[in-house]
Structure 1
Amino acid sequence: MSNYLRVTTPVEGSDGKTRFHNVGVAFPQREGSRSKMKIKLHSLPINGELVLFEPNTSDDDGGDLTE
């Protein structure tokens, strides 16, 4: 597992496909910490839904994922 996760929100396109728009990153906390993750959002999802993914090397372009 990487040292962070990508935080995304699902958005349905006009073609009916769901795409995952990047809205932030999540970092696991240290062993023994009272919390499990720290999430930093760059924008707020208007649908109120967050989905976390491990980063891929092909995700460096900052593009959205398609389901």
Structure 2
Amino acid sequence: MTTYVLTVPVTYKRDNQEHTSYRRVGAVFENTKTDTGEAFLSIKLDFPVAVTELVAFQPKARDAEEGGDHI
């Protein structure tokens, strides 16, 4: 299982120069369905923001051809 640190870029000025720092807001886990082998991402947030977990799936071939707004 691959994991990533989920961050938000924050831009600020110091000594009249613009800088960007990255603040951690959660983690992303790459998983695989056991029955089909299909990959999906699970996102865990460090703090509640209306929801505490989001899951993203790769679009199916017909969804990508039709515009992808189908569930």
Q: TM-score normalized by structure 1?
A: 0.51
**Residues 39 and 29 of structure 1, relative CA distance in 2, 3 Å threshold:** same
CA RMSD of aligned residues (A): 2.5
Whether 1:37 and 2:41 are equivalent positions in the alignment is: yes
More strand by share: 2
Query: Radius of gyration: which is bigger?
Result: 2
Alignment partners' CA distance in 2, 1:44 and 1:3: 23
Gaps of 5+ in 2: 50-71
Q: Given residue 26 of structure 1, which amino acid in structure 2 is its aligned partner?
A: V
Structure 1 ranges of 4+ moved more than 6 A: none
> What percent identity do the matched residue pairs reach?
26
Corresponding residue number in structure 1 for 2:8: 9
TM-score normalised by structure 2 residue count: 0.49
> How many residues matched?
43
2:2–2:31 Cα contact (<8 Å) kept:
no
Q: Work out which structure has the larger RCO, using CA pairs closer than 8 Å and 6 or more positions apart in sequence.
A: 1
